[in-house]
Amino acid sequence: MAVMSYAQAACNALASAMRADPAVVALGEDIGRGGIFGQYAGLQQEFGPERVIDAPISEAAIMGAAVGMALTGMKPVVEMRVADFALCAIDEIVNQAAKNRYMFGGQGRVPLVARLPIGIWAASAAQHSQSFEAWFAHIPGLVVVAPATPADNHALLTAALACGDPVIYMEHKMLWGMTGEVDTTATAKLGKAEIVRPGHDVTLVSWSKQVHVALEAAQLAEAKGLSVEVIDLRTLWPWDRATVLGSAARTGRALVTHEAVQAAGFGAEIAATIAEELGIPVKRVGAPRIPVGYAPTLEAAAHVPAARILDALCKLKPC
């Protein structure tokens, strides 16, 4: 075990993959100096500019080059700086990377990892604070991952690099400095959730930074006599139906919470599945459908705090 930040854990996982496989490369803006969050710190010094490639400010060009690299046998890690900027490369992601294996009968594979940092970034306003995980989960051919801890950022990035298909890898912008114990030998399976807090009254499902808010809400609920089981989904596609449905069947109630806008959010997919399969009470708690404001008061309105989750939990089972 070693104590690492969320950023260091990902950097360590990528460095290990690059040492083990010369086909693994990284490309993006400012990664030669370590990336804007330090998630590539020291990599260009170790592997050189031919494998840690500083790119011009053109997300479409970066992603298009990465798709071409992947089709010729390389394993590119593509840095989009923030998920908001990946919209400039949406055709390359959705129509090229995601569909190539299907459209060419498996003759081509696109084993790339696209790092798209999501979530509200303090004082960064509407164009740097969005969560688009539902967009990408909607697209056949893409794997979607959202790690919540340093340990998972290491294990899940390692798994994403070994996947063989295009992975949309969504790290939260406000987690980069979070520290925790990381077992660099631990493995993770894409599509496998984790029960991070056991309970028996309500199942609470979340992912990314919102997992920590969910855990805070569960602790507040415990003080009111409500036992909440918290599940970190970890991978949004494929998502772990067995773990979620098994927990919800035991508790008889379920709540899904995410930082993304609630309208058409991925929580609706989980809630609908629970309702269809189990017929139990289920609720969602997501952000309002508003742009994230720059002013602290406006930004606060876009957050989904523990108090809102607690209120929803107590409506599922009075506490």
Q: How far is CA 121 from the centre of its chain?
A: 15
Contact between 145 and 192 under an 8 Å Cβ cutoff? The reply is no
128 is catalytic: yes
Angle at 28 between CA 27 and CA 34, to 5 degrees: 95
Q: Rounded to an integer, what distance in angstroms lies between the CA atom of residue 176 and that of residue 6?
A: 5
284 token code pair: 């969602």
Q: Rounded to an integer, what distance in angstroms lies between the CA atom of residue 291 and that of residue 27?
A: 30
Residue type at 298 in one-letter notation: L
User: What per-residue string of b and e applies to 52-85 under the rule 16 or more CB within 10 Å gives b?
Assistant: bbebeeebeebbbbbbebbbeebbbbbbbbbbbb
Q: How far is CA 231 from the centre of its chain?
A: 14
Around Cβ 271, how many Cβ atoms within 10 Å? 18
Size of the chain in residues: 319
Contact between 33 and 81 under an 8 Å Cβ cutoff? The reply is no
Q: Which residues contact 118 (CB under 8 A, 6 or more apart)?
A: 82, 83, 130, 131, 132, 133, 146, 170, 171, 172, 173, 208, 259, 260
**Of 128, 172, 212, 258, which one is the catalytic site residue?**
128
* Secondary structure tally for the chain: helices H, strands E: 12, 14
Q: Which residues are catalytic?
A: 128
